[in-house]
A and B are shown apart, each in its own frame.
Chain A
Amino acid sequence: MDFNELLDFIGSDQGAVAAPPAAPPAPSAIIGASLSRIDGPLKTTGSALYAADYHLPHMSYAMLVCSTIANGTISSLDASQAEKMPGVLLVLHHGNIGPLFRVAPGSRGGRNSEARPPFEDEKILYWGQDVAVVIAETFAQALAASAAVKVQYNAEKPNVSTKLDEVIPAAGTPGGPHIESKRGDSEAAFSSAPVQLDATYSTPVETQNPMEMHATTAVWENGRFTLYESSQGVINHLNVMAQVLGVPRENIQVISKFIGSGFGSKLFPWPHSALAAAASRQLNRPVKLMVPRKMMFSNTGHRPRTQQRMRLGATADGKLVSLQQDYRNHTSHDDDIKENCGEATPFLYSVANLQVTSALMKRNVGTPTPMRGPGAVPGLFAVESAMDELAIKLKKDPVAFRLAHDTLIDEEKKKPFSSRHFKECLEVGSQKFGWAKRTPEVGSMRKGDLILGWGVAAASWGAGRGLSEAAVSMKSDGTVRVSSGTQDPGTGTYTVLAQIVSDKTAINQIAGAVMMGIGMGLYEETICDPRNGHAINDNFADYIVATSADMPAIDVTFLDIPDPMMGEYGARGIGEICLAGIAPAITAAVYHATGVRVRELPVRIEDLLASRVLI
């Protein structure tokens, strides 16, 4: 999702146009105060209700049956044995699901994750695709019966290659890369530059893996659906489900009181939601469906693999004259999802000649979806790694090299920023870190028997505003009720509605994102078996995420400069940007310590065996 799509999404999600406030509100003692979040007593006592926490009379339980090939067709599906098992109420598949509809293309009526509704045909396009769903009286019965559904396939060879090297026509011609940004003549400036860097960087498939598994509790009652969802976009969810299920919007209510994070994977509905709803309509009973953790590595989205060729040209005295980023990302067969790697590239540095191009490579994988800091996070890994490499080639300090290319206008749009404090960030950061004590030679810094590496990276992030609507009413008991069609993915929405978010919550957010950045730099990668497309490390033992024992000292400093152009309070969004820059800072530090430049994430121990630094 690129930035404009995000704004559209925010706009559509709020549903209605709100009038601007008549007058700026008076200063408040509450705004920015370091209050504890108001949802604490619910979340720390297990009283906060998530999508699968509801208990309803006559509840039934659903379990998905998923494909074990990544490419081909279903030749036969035999549910007869499963249907006879204890407690089984229904087995739904292509043959009996009934009509589920596609979302009207191009409409503002909502965005679905996969264009194709579940069970629409018998084509298999990725490992883990839903092929049937079993509903039973208990979870254990549904789980057991799901294993008894016999599915046979005509399997074809899948393509899950991580090399995104297909030969395609030239940029700007039909079938060739799409030109995302362009100024000057980057090609000519690069060829004539005395100092050149030409390197390709790759980021792997990452799986969002929110701690709460995707879940839907669907209730069909008197012609109306109530869907208890784990959704980051409740209004979008409603708009999509109305179309997929073929019922008027007013006959669906989506409830998402608390969600156990989403990191993007819960922005748009996944097929299981429609399946739970369809099953509850057929059975006339509530249906609870949780997507198992294993399946969340295939059929609830991921950050797609990217491959980015960076070409940077500079003068001998260190002036950047050309910057080219040609990126590709993989996508699924039915859905073209671009990972917008060039989002921050045009406005991060001052450079006269610049070009960014994009291209999609089809693979037998589930549909990618935005993951925290979509586009710019993998994009900045390439841009910032290349800047670091070029600085070293020029024998320039990486911080000074960046500062020398600061800009106060977006040179692409030729407009000033609402707020840009790149210089202050790098200066304050260097000072707090003690950067002046860094010696640039590889392996030159030691602490006891450790070799130290210090690395730096920068990030920039667009700030957007969407139309939104909230209702505030004062009740007769003196309390105030604030209501809005949104959700709290863990960022403190309930508290934000009561005040503008405090430093305490903001530091918590940033430190958490640093932990995720450590995961991106050192641990996280979803690996597909080339034979059948199965994500072989589909669990928390094999897909490593950072845990408490991986936690370094983290010092978060805010400049504390409001951005008055963005709104009356000058508040900023921080949830996405804080992940950007962590991974390239880590790889820069790894280079500084070992002399090994890792251009494909995550950093592996094998990569470092090439180090020639003497112990």
Chain B
Amino acid sequence: MKNKPFDPDQKNAPVAKDNPEATETKQPLLGRVSRRSFLSHLGAAGIAASTQPLMATAQPIAAPVGPAAEAHPAVAGTMPITLKVNGKEHHLQIEPRVTLLDCLREDLALSGTKKGCDHGQCGACTVHVNGRRVNSCLSLAMMHQGEEITTIEGIGQPGNLHPMQAAFIEHDGYQCGYCTSGQIMSAVAMMKENVGPSDDDVKNAMYGNICRRGAYPNMDGKQIKSARVALGGVGAKPWRSLEAEKALQGHAASATLFRHAAEEALKGAHPQSENGFKVELSKRCLVRALTLATTSA
């Protein structure tokens, strides 16, 4: 494997040292700040207080930032950063507000990572940071200095395919191809997560990657299973929501947890929770929960 294995104890994962508020909780969820933990631990007032100084430091810049930026000297409003992407170090001058996604696509010309919503809702921009999947549109490039970033280009290339890429081709697990980079990045990372062995476990673990063409039937069960065989079989522990919290990140984790929360809430609050409407009810509650989470951001 090209990536570091997933480390459930987070021994190697960096704690969010640039965010003192987050460490005060003494519960470093996932070892670093995720969107959800960030929001739930800080609250809206905290966000306003901590982001204001950052915005105020933005200064006009005098030179374009583009693929040629690696050759440019420092310019006002930009910061020098070193990103390690697919094993190669890049020295860049970028604005602090540039997302990891835009940095990869526009500054490093790695356009295999796709922009599908820019809001962390679709999964098309999924990349690996230290072996874990993240939505690169929800992450600022400057937060990832010194970390191992892997994009779809680093997973395998035409003629040198990763087993997961080969499995997607063999099982026709794609149509237009636009969500495919993110699907594969999620699937590869999931192999090291304790998501459980069944097709349903895989469905839940891949929930955060939307395919509008609905190519899921060829994307989830048998296909990923065949890649699992090729990779020696991993992720075989039974899936539980707490395991998932550790293992999953971003939208996928939020969705799964909210769904469970909704189901649990329904059991107590709604007399019909045990009947055939349960799944539909929880789906609707998930929608409401996600809406609340999004609008409260």
Contact = CB atoms under 8 A, between A and B. Distances in A.
Interface of A: 36-37, 39-50, 52-55, 58-59, 61, 85-87, 137-141, 144, 209-213, 258-261, 263, 290, 292-293, 449-452, 488-492, 504-505, 508-509, 511-516, 522, 539-542, 544-551, 554, 593, 604-605, 608, 615
- List the 6 closest pairs (A to B, CB-CB), nearest first: A46-B112, A490-B176, A260-B178, A515-B214, A43-B177, A512-B214
A212 B177 CA distance: 9
29 contacts: A39-B177, A41-B159, A44-B177, A45-B153, A45-B156, A46-B112, A46-B114, A46-B151, A47-B157, A55-B67, A86-B59, A138-B66, A138-B95, A141-B61, A210-B212, A260-B116, A263-B212, A450-B276, A491-B175, A508-B175, A511-B214, A539-B119, A542-B291, A544-B287, A547-B216, A548-B203, A549-B207, A551-B217, A605-B284
B175 A213 contact: no
B153 A50 contact: no
A212 B116 contact: yes
Interface string B161-177: 10001001110101111
Given A36-B172, A40-B168, A140-B98, A213 B158 contact: no
Contacts of A509: 175
Interface in B118-177: 118-119, 121-122, 124, 151-153, 155-159, 161, 165, 168-170, 172, 174-177
A491 B213 CA distance: 9
Secondary structure type dominating chain A contacts:
loop
Interface string B70-113: 00000001000000000000000001011000100110011111
Contacts of A141: 61, 95
Contact of B176 (A138, A258, A452): A258
Interface stretch (B6-14, B21-29, B179-187): B179-187
Q: How many interface residues does chain B have, given as a range?
A: 35 or more
B114 A551 contact: no
Given A43-B174, A211-B178, A540-B210, A59 B66 contact: yes
Contact of A259 (B95, B151, B176, B277): B176
Nearest to A208: B212
B203 A47 contact: no
Given A511-B214, A548-B220, A540 B174 contact: no
A48 B116 contact: no
B219 interface: yes
Contacts of A522: 280, 283
Contacts of B293: 541
Interface of B: 59-61, 64-67, 77, 95, 97-98, 102, 105-106, 109-119, 121-122, 124, 151-153, 155-159, 161, 165, 168-170, 172, 174-181, 184, 202-204, 206-220, 255, 259, 272, 274-277, 280-281, 283-284, 287, 290-291, 293-294
Q: Is the interface of B mostly helix, strand, loop or mixed?
A: loop
A211 B213 CA distance: 8
Contact of A87 (B64, B175, B181): B64
Contacts of A540: 117, 119, 121-122, 210
A452 B105 CA distance: 48
A593 to B, nearest CB: 7
Nearest to B99: A140
A292 B294 CA distance: 17
Contact of B117 (A59, A293, A490): A293
Contacts of A449: 274-276
A196 B149 CA distance: 66
A42 B158 CA distance: 6
Contact of A138 (B106, B181, B217): B106
B140 to A, nearest CB: 10
A542 B117 CA distance: 13
Given A138-B95, A212-B116, A605-B284, A551 B178 contact: no
A44 B175 CA distance: 10
A140 B66 CA distance: 12
Nearest to B67: A55
A550 B214 CA distance: 10
Given A45-B165, A46-B181, A541 B121 contact: yes
Nearest to A42: B158
Contacts of B208: 547
Contacts of B60: 85-87
Contact of B209 (A49, A210, A548, A604): A548
Contact of B207 (A43, A547, A554): A547
A209 to B, nearest CB: 6
Given A45-B158, A139-B106, A140-B102, A451 B176 contact: no
Contacts of A547: 207-210, 216
A267 B157 CA distance: 32
Nearest to B178: A260
Contact of A512 (B153, B169, B175, B220): B175
B212 A211 contact: yes
